[in-house]
Structure 1
Amino acid sequence: MRPPEENRPDPDELLSRIGAEDTKPRGKFKIFFGMAAGVGKTFEMLRDAQKEKSEGKDVWIGYLETHNRRETEKQAEGLPIIPRKRSKYKSVDLEEMDLDSILEKKPDLVLVDELAHTNVPGSRHPKRYQDVLEILDHGIDVYSTLNVQHLESRAGIVEEISGAPVMERIPDSILELADEVELIDLVPDDLVKRLKEGKIYPTDKVPQALHSFFRVPNLTALRELSLNYTSKLVDRELSRLEPTKDPKISDKILVAISASPRAADLIRYAKRISFGLKCPWVAVHVDEGESYSAEEKELLRENLHLARELGAEILNSSDKDPVSGIIKAVHRTKATHVVIGRSGKGRLSRIFRGGSFIDKLSEEAGDFQILLAPTIIPKEKIAISNIPFLRRTRSKPIQYFLSFLALLAVTSFNLLLNTFAGYWSIGLIYLFFIMFVSLFVGRGPVVIISALSAIFWNFLFIPPKFTFYIEKLEDWMMFGTYFILAIILGVLTTRLKDKEEDLQTGEEALSGLYRLSISLSKIHSLDEIASVAVETIRETFHCQVLLLLTDSDSLLNRSPHPKSDFIPDSKEFALAAWTFQNRKPSGKDTDTVPLSIGLYLPLLTQGGCFGVVGLNLDTRTSLELEEENLLFSILNQISLAIERIQLLGIRANAKLAEESEKFYSALFNSVSHDFRTPLTVIRGSLDLLETGLSEKEKSDLYSEVRIAYKKLDRLVSDLLDMSRLETGRLKLDLQWEDPADLVNETIRISEYEKGEHSLGSKMDENLPLVRMDRRLMIQVLVHLLQNAFMHAGKKCNIIIRASVPKDHLLLTVEDDGIGILKGQEEKIFEKFTKGSSSEHGTGLGLSICRGLVEAQGGKIWAENRQEGGARFLIRIPVLTFPPLEDSIV
């Protein structure tokens, strides 16, 4: 049942911490470890904290349980306390550690007592050690306390020793994660003395504790467990510091787990072995292709989760033979030890199965040892679920009822047919009916109707009728054969149907992944990837989907993608933001707010986190193991596709930067000579002016300086105009201008550069006014004249023509020189294009001309004259004549 809304985390507290990824290093973790309550773990933790505070650290108490012990309370004096967070569960007021306040305050060191504590349902994390891990991720040091019985791998042993169940447990990997583990040891007799003095429990609970958990033999065994575990921790640390001195570094443990309640004991035993050998371990599940019930699926999920929590590598294998599957896993992981459990099957079962599982595994060739877990296994009881034909059959009652009705209908038909056909033919009809029914129901109904059909056939049709007695030997043989064939055919047909359904399910999953990969490979935009991702997840898992992607600053976008149909409230969105920040799943069926309605998963690759996908699981059951694997595969493909798009963008930017670098390199190389030439003329002329020269010589030098200055000014203007054209920042000053004035002004400006060329103009009479930018059009004509002066040849005639045919102004600059190379009429308008490589200039003039003309809505092109020479034509639209002034009414 979901807790009330007020018990869920405040979204404002979560969202206030969502931002750029924190680069602060992980905090240091110290655990005060003991054999039982009352040995002094909390006292020692407080004493060390007081020492840290005296050295200038900011130390706060996040959660402290003194159990009204005076010496413990006295030791805590002077340490500031973060108030606990109050919540209500089932009408009961409860207090818990305020995780958000700790993260907001960010002390140097925080004290968190009772590491194995279970939080109130509705908290962000089910267990307190998960809160501690989040505190450490934010760079805050943590001191905490723990008893040996709370370790997952030792909890079963403690239960056997003390006879009391251990409800609160934590994975061993949490203790192995600690930077320091300090053993708080106490002699059992001294601990019993402290108990009798009332320093551990209230006086009224002391007698019960002395006769149950706190008996000296129990405490001695617990002390041995804690000492043994701590010594192995020290040994592992030494092995880590000096790995070359560890002779068992190449060992690896493999444990086979299944949907069995005994698998948890195997997992804990394998963890203890791997911890003792200081080697990694693997948990393998062999899928035999048989369907599991909901209870078995949940148990398998819990076993896999337990193995993952204890630090195992999870491996899934598919094989009809579990022994063959384990051998393949051994070769794949290079395991040196295989942990298996004892079998509770009887001798008869082992005979029919060709030997026990241990016998079959030991007969296989391989360089590994078999470790038999020392667990007490109860003898297997004979049950319907253990019968080979009925194993894992989960047919609904309606299937039994409808199968029985169908059997009655077929029997009625056979009674009518009995007058025409013999009882052997009726037996064949029953066989056909059983094979047909097995296509629609499970094994249980098939076996039941097979037995009932045999009974009906015998009682109603085999002579003597209406008795169970059979006279003839051949009828006995026929009846026995029928009974066996009916069951075998029905069960085999059902099994083939189950296999077909499993294969179809697997094929659909593979086909879906293949279609998704093909679709993603053809997509080249982030929005298309997001659309495909949302639609694929929605259709595959039949639930609403939320997609949040990162923005340009690599922060989580607050707005869901438009294709999202799951729009969470502020509290659910806070979970999605937490997932993005911590790169971990959150929400339903996870360790972070498991009672939420949504499941939130990060889109992760080695390149980072690109967003969060949320699934609304409020209206459907939790995801099964196969669905989880499929979902992670889909998310992996989506993440890689998003990363590919981002890499393509980075590549495009890099290519653009490279092209830009080439552009500027070519530009500077091109203009370097054109800059240096006028500057050299100016510098040389100034040097000569300092010497004694006649007035005529000075006048000539002034003229050269003026010409050089104009060339330099024009070159700078060209570069600025090209920059404005490239960036779209060119502003037009459109006015009504006289084309004749425009041509005359151009000739006047260019007169000093014509050299030996002749320059003239021809214009129609009564030219209309044209709306254009006078400055830019003069610049265009000047560029065209300079181009003719440079490329036409020597002593050419250059003419500017102006006319208004139809609805446009036509400006022409033509010469009678060498003309344009064939095929280059269009290319000469491209940037950095020159007539030949030996010619000077930037190659920007004609490119600037085209840009300036097109900016005014015109067109420019070049062609060769039939009589020789080149011609450049400019067409500017003439839309209307200038309006007259409004008359005064």
Structure 2
Amino acid sequence: MRPAEENRPDPDELLSRIGGEGSKTRGKLKIFFGMAAGVGKTFEMLRDAQKAKSEGVDVWIGYLETHNRKETEAQAEGLSIIPRKRSKYKSVDLEEMDIDAILEKKPDLVLVDELAHTNVPGSRHPKRYQDVLEILDQGINVYSTLNVQHLESRAGIVEEISGAPVSERVPDSILEIADEVELIDLVPDDLIKRLKEGKVYPSDKVPQALHSFFKIPNLTALRELSLNFTSKLVDRELSRLEPTKDSKLSDKILVAVSSSSQAANLIRYAKRIAFGLKCPWAAVHVDNGEVLSSDQKNLLRENLGLARELGAEILNFSDRDPVFGILRAINRTKATHIVIGRSSKSKLSRILRGGSFVDKLSELPGDFQILLAPTEIVKEKPKFRFGFFTKGTRSKPIQYFFSFLALLGITSFNLLLNIFAGYWSIGLVYLFFIMFVALFAGRGPVLITASLSAIFWNFLFIPPKFTFYIEKVEDWMMFGTYFILALVLGALTTRLRDREEALQTGEEALSGLYRLSVALSKTHSLDEIASVAVETIGDTFQSSVLILLADEDSLLSRTPHPKSGFKPDLKESALAAWTFQNRKPSGKDTDTVPLSKGLYLPLLTPGGCFGVIGLDREHKDSLELEEETLLFSMLNQIALSLERIQLLGIRANAKMVEESEKFYSALFNSVSHDFRTPLTVIRASLDLLEAGNGKNEKEKFDLFSEIRIAYKKLDRLVGDLLDMSRLESGRLMLDLQWEDPLDLINETVRIAEYEKGEHILSVESDESMPLVRMDRRLMIQVLIHLLQNAFLHTEKNSVVLVRASVPKDHLLLTVEDNGPGIPVGQEDKIFEKFTKVSGSVQGTGLGLSICKGLVEAQGGKIWAENRQEGGARFLIRIPVLTFPPLEDAIV
């Protein structure tokens, strides 16, 4: 371990590091925006690039699509081109932009045409705009092009206008984060003229384009969309720079998202409203306990992914009634506008449910507006007409089989019971049986079993038997009541069980988080945190786990932690490194290399990224929404624990540095005077000796004595500093020998004679003193310090007593004086470094601290107390464990 001084960071290095971090800025994005292909976006981008190059900017073409337009190709002459990356997909050779080559080249400006392009499957990112975002994060400026039809919030409108599907889309946020958006406008007549001249598409494709997309009404509508969107971008920028009282920044849009196929259009409509009002927005999904099919789960995930991509805050709530779930979301987000879709329920269904969703929501108290989106109404399919009974069904064929088998069993029992009881009693038995089945089966088996039990009861027990005819009115009433009760009780019991399972799932998630937090709270090292993380995440998600931690230099370790069960190959390891560098998830089911084997997530806190967690998700289904939420919560807990360990280390180092600074400051303040005084005496005495002036031998002897005393003080001071350094570093070497305590005291008194001055030094000891194992040199030094301390704090002619005794199994050395004593409460504090009882007393304040260290190094103990008759007493106790073997008797 290096000394504290060597561990101290260089202030200049810190400032340069801070300056370096602050200087790393994000690249600037400029988008050339237009209404359709052929308006001149690429041409204008190249012209601006040529201008930038003439100004000394390092410009490279990352990807350019000229469509064989001569004027565009001419405009690109002289610009350096980064070669495209070749890849093969389904035996077809394709070319894509080489993002790694761009990042390695790191130019000042890179041109990336066709921002909405979809990359080849297996690329790092599915979309080119995601490549651009990564390039921007590395501080590289980007020029790019985009048509209004590719904006996610406008794509649906363009499809309605043109009748052509829009497959390549980008989120609106890509324009909102752009530093500059330049509108390339062209009137529709001029665009059609360019098209006919062959300046947009090849001549063979012109007739088809004129009769489909490139029509005057279509182009006019697209031009209006592009102008409208650009004007709103300008208004948004102005409101951000100069907010006024009429600003709508206090508004917030909330959109309800479900697994409906119309939810995507609802999300796009909410985005357009939020963009127009220049306000934030959020998307909420309310889990009402309904069990979704795999297709519905995928559709819900896509809808929430679309909302997240468009910049929405994602919220998840669990509530049996979606209306109250929406109300909780409104209260949480302080939303002012609620966007919902039109109901596809029939009038009868709305009456049975107590009104439509809009009616229920409008009856709730709150300061919000309901916006009904103009979405298409999709009529319910016939198979969902009995949604009350079939909703959430997850029954397997085995449940139907056992339910029917149990029904046959209870029917056999009822046939025997019919001998002793009437058919009404048998109806009650069937009713209890239906409730019992509902505890174990889903809605489907309960519905079938209830219907069959009513048929069996009618056919086998209600007279006339073995017919479906019921002759009595009261039997008809009983049969109808039974049928309804069987269905309702079965459905309600199943609903309660579903709710219980949902609560149990939530409780398991909370329990898992609680267990993780408790386990992490008991960790004290990075290895312990890694062990807890791998074990907990692996057990929870049934996946092998990889954990890579950052080192002291904030660089990701290339070697997985020994606790990791997932060992990635080179490609997967590079993906984990990308996650750490970009602070974004990557891998399976993400936007970065989604076809990979593992899922990689950064361990992020406000203090930075502390590592990467990887999960082996090969041949595994995508995580559910609840599982994603639980996983990110666990990662947050783990990251905070890693940050806690780091902060504890920083705190310990800071405390060490602080103690070191305090030590050095106190040391220099203390020794400066103690060094200066004897040096002054030596210098003055030498000056007097050199001057001569007829000094006699006695005067010379006195001057030499003063020099000798000053030298010994300096020697003792240097020795004290060296001893303290050895004690602090743990390098003190002991020379333990069997010593006679009385000889030790006598030698100490002899050495102290020159400093006692007019003090009276007295010695007492027991008559028979055993030999004690100790370091003679160190113990003499301890006694010398105690005697010097007594001389400093007592008057002239005071008696200082040194006593040695061996009570029981230890040697007790005592130094007493009749001075003022020790202030009450300072008995232990005087053994601390640089502690002085009186500020007027000379000394470094290290003597007693050195005594304590030297005594404790030999297994002894030293303490101080006041005498009843006045004065101070210092006591040293050295253990006497064994005695040395006696020498052989001399014959």
- 1:509 is paired with a residue whose SS is helix
- 1:848 is paired with a residue whose SS is helix
Note the 1:786-797 alignment, pairs <5 A: 786-787=788-789, 789-790=791-792
Return the letter of the residue paired with 2:693. G
1:713 aligns with 2:715: yes
Q: What is the CA distance between 1:338 and its match in structure 2?
A: 2.3
Paired position in structure 1 for 2:310:
310
Give the direction of change, closer, same or farther, for the CA distance of 1:839–1:437 in structure 2 (3 Å limit). same
Is the 1:857–1:876 contact (alpha carbons within 8 Å) kept by the matching residues of 2?
A: no
Paired position in structure 2 for 1:153:
153
Give the direction of change, closer, same or farther, for the CA distance of 1:823–1:305 in structure 2 (3 Å limit). closer
Return the letter of the residue paired with 1:287. D
Which of 697, 709, 718 is the matching residue for 2:699?
697
**CA separation in 2, counterparts of 1:863 and 1:790?**
17
Paired position in structure 2 for 1:225:
225
Return the letter of the residue paired with 1:359. D
Q: What is the CA distance between 1:570 and its match in structure 2?
A: 2.6
Q: What is the CA distance between 1:264 and its match in structure 2?
A: 0.8
- 1:646 is paired with a residue whose SS is helix
1:677 aligns with 2:677: yes
**CA separation in 1, counterparts of 2:881 and 2:377?**
99
**CA separation in 1, counterparts of 2:456 and 2:817?**
116
Q: What is the CA distance between 1:74 and its match in structure 2?
A: 2.0
Give the direction of change, closer, same or farther, for the CA distance of 1:751–1:37 in structure 2 (3 Å limit). same
Is the 1:785–1:813 contact (alpha carbons within 8 Å) kept by the matching residues of 2?
A: no
Q: Could you list the runs of 5+ residues in structure 1 that have no partner in the other structure?
A: 1-19, 884-889
Note the 1:850-861 alignment, pairs <5 A: 850-852=852-854
Q: What is the CA distance between 1:30 and its match in structure 2?
A: 0.7
Give the direction of change, closer, same or farther, for the CA distance of 1:826–1:31 in structure 2 (3 Å limit). closer
1:496 aligns with 2:496: yes
**CA separation in 1, counterparts of 2:866 and 2:477?**
109
- Which deviates more from structure 2 when the two are superposed, residues 313-322 or residues 80-89? 313-322
- Which deviates more from structure 2 when the two are superposed, residues 346-355 or residues 103-112? 346-355
Q: Which has the higher contact order (CA 8 A, sep 6+)?
A: 1
1:319 aligns with 2:348: no
Is the 1:576–1:614 contact (alpha carbons within 8 Å) kept by the matching residues of 2?
A: yes
Paired position in structure 2 for 1:724:
726
Is the 2:286–2:326 contact (alpha carbons within 8 Å) kept by the matching residues of 1?
A: yes
Note the 1:585-604 alignment, pairs <5 A: 585-604=585-604
Q: Root-mean-square deviation (CA), in Å? A: 3.9
Note the 1:516-527 alignment, pairs <5 A: 516-527=516-527
Return the letter of the residue paired with 1:146. L
**CA separation in 2, counterparts of 1:616 and 1:150?**
35
Note the 1:371-450 alignment, pairs <5 A: 371-384=371-384, 386-450=386-450
**CA separation in 2, counterparts of 1:345 and 1:818?**
101
**CA separation in 2, counterparts of 1:852 and 1:688?**
40
Name the TM-score, length of structure 1 as normaliser: 0.87
Note the 1:572-611 alignment, pairs <5 A: 572-611=572-611
Note the 1:514-663 alignment, pairs <5 A: 514-663=514-663
Structure 1 residues 12-68: Cα deviation after superposition (integer angstroms, max 9, x where no partner): xxxxxxxx9795111010111111122221121111111111111111111111222
Return the letter of the residue paired with 1:256. A
**CA separation in 2, counterparts of 1:498 and 1:125?**
39
**CA separation in 2, counterparts of 1:535 and 1:385?**
46
Give the direction of change, closer, same or farther, for the CA distance of 1:268–1:860 in structure 2 (3 Å limit). closer
Is the 2:262–2:376 contact (alpha carbons within 8 Å) kept by the matching residues of 1?
A: no
- Which deviates more from structure 2 when the two are superposed, residues 531-540 or residues 181-190? 531-540
Is the 2:831–2:849 contact (alpha carbons within 8 Å) kept by the matching residues of 1?
A: yes
**CA separation in 2, counterparts of 1:359 and 1:873?**
89
Paired position in structure 1 for 2:843:
841
Q: What is the CA distance between 1:603 and its match in structure 2?
A: 2.0
**CA separation in 1, counterparts of 2:867 and 2:28?**
86
Paired position in structure 1 for 2:5:
none
**CA separation in 2, counterparts of 1:550 and 1:208?**
58
Q: What is the CA distance between 1:664 and its match in structure 2?
A: 4.2
**CA separation in 1, counterparts of 2:24 and 2:794?**
70
Paired position in structure 2 for 1:277:
277
Is the 1:37–1:200 contact (alpha carbons within 8 Å) kept by the matching residues of 2?
A: yes
Is the 2:447–2:490 contact (alpha carbons within 8 Å) kept by the matching residues of 1?
A: yes
Note the 1:236-315 alignment, pairs <5 A: 236-244=236-244, 246-315=246-315
Q: Could you list the runs of 5+ residues in structure 2 that have no partner in the other structure?
A: 1-19
- Which deviates more from structure 2 when the two are superposed, residues 852-861 or residues 708-717? 852-861
Q: What is the CA distance between 1:474 and its match in structure 2?
A: 1.8
Paired position in structure 1 for 2:173:
173
- Which deviates more from structure 2 when the two are superposed, residues 577-586 or residues 408-417? 408-417
Note the 1:52-71 alignment, pairs <5 A: 52-71=52-71
- 1:32 is paired with a residue whose SS is strand
**CA separation in 1, counterparts of 2:346 and 2:212?**
37
- Which deviates more from structure 2 when the two are superposed, residues 42-51 or residues 744-753? 744-753
Give the direction of change, closer, same or farther, for the CA distance of 1:64–1:812 in structure 2 (3 Å limit). same
Paired position in structure 1 for 2:454:
454
Paired position in structure 2 for 1:513:
513
**CA separation in 2, counterparts of 1:598 and 1:209?**
44
Structure 1 residues 768-794: Cα deviation after superposition (integer angstroms, max 9, x where no partner): 999998865664564455345546765
Q: What is the CA distance between 1:106 and its match in structure 2?
A: 0.4
- Which deviates more from structure 2 when the two are superposed, residues 310-319 or residues 114-123? 310-319
- 2:404 is paired with a residue whose SS is helix
Give the direction of change, closer, same or farther, for the CA distance of 1:703–1:488 in structure 2 (3 Å limit). same
Is the 1:830–1:847 contact (alpha carbons within 8 Å) kept by the matching residues of 2?
A: yes
Paired position in structure 1 for 2:4:
none
- 1:389 is paired with a residue whose SS is helix
Q: What is the CA distance between 1:170 and its match in structure 2?
A: 0.6
Give the direction of change, closer, same or farther, for the CA distance of 1:340–1:850 in structure 2 (3 Å limit). closer
Return the letter of the residue paired with 2:127. K
Give the direction of change, closer, same or farther, for the CA distance of 1:781–1:375 in structure 2 (3 Å limit). closer
**CA separation in 1, counterparts of 2:429 and 2:835?**
92
- Which deviates more from structure 2 when the two are superposed, residues 121-130 or residues 608-617? 608-617
**CA separation in 2, counterparts of 1:379 and 1:592?**
38
Is the 2:109–2:141 contact (alpha carbons within 8 Å) kept by the matching residues of 1?
A: yes
Return the letter of the residue paired with 1:535. E
**CA separation in 2, counterparts of 1:844 and 1:111?**
71
**CA separation in 1, counterparts of 2:268 and 2:765?**
102
- 1:388 is paired with a residue whose SS is helix
Name the TM-score, length of structure 2 as normaliser: 0.87
Q: Percent identity?
A: 79
Give the direction of change, closer, same or farther, for the CA distance of 1:423–1:386 in structure 2 (3 Å limit). closer
- 2:284 is paired with a residue whose SS is strand
Paired position in structure 2 for 1:200:
200
**CA separation in 1, counterparts of 2:211 and 2:812?**
115
Q: What is the CA distance between 1:261 and its match in structure 2?
A: 0.8
**CA separation in 2, counterparts of 1:245 and 1:703?**
90
Is the 1:865–1:871 contact (alpha carbons within 8 Å) kept by the matching residues of 2?
A: no
Is the 2:790–2:817 contact (alpha carbons within 8 Å) kept by the matching residues of 1?
A: no
Return the letter of the residue paired with 2:714. L
**CA separation in 2, counterparts of 1:383 and 1:164?**
32
Return the letter of the residue paired with 1:694. K
**CA separation in 1, counterparts of 2:327 and 2:820?**
84
Q: What is the CA distance between 1:717 and its match in structure 2?
A: 2.1
- Which deviates more from structure 2 when the two are superposed, residues 628-637 or residues 557-566? 557-566
Q: What is the CA distance between 1:182 and its match in structure 2?
A: 1.2
Give the direction of change, closer, same or farther, for the CA distance of 1:393–1:671 in structure 2 (3 Å limit). same
**CA separation in 1, counterparts of 2:603 and 2:487?**
50
Note the 1:733-882 alignment, pairs <5 A: 750-756=752-758, 779-780=781-782, 782-787=784-789, 789-790=791-792, 830-832=832-834, 839-852=841-854
**CA separation in 1, counterparts of 2:796 and 2:573?**
78
Q: What is the CA distance between 1:801 and its match in structure 2?
A: 10
**CA separation in 1, counterparts of 2:662 and 2:412?**
92
Aligned length: 863
Paired position in structure 2 for 1:122:
122
**CA separation in 1, counterparts of 2:775 and 2:463?**
117
Is the 1:450–1:487 contact (alpha carbons within 8 Å) kept by the matching residues of 2?
A: yes
Is the 2:529–2:641 contact (alpha carbons within 8 Å) kept by the matching residues of 1?
A: yes
- Which deviates more from structure 2 when the two are superposed, residues 269-278 or residues 540-549? 540-549
Return the letter of the residue paired with 1:311. G
Give the direction of change, closer, same or farther, for the CA distance of 1:800–1:454 in structure 2 (3 Å limit). closer
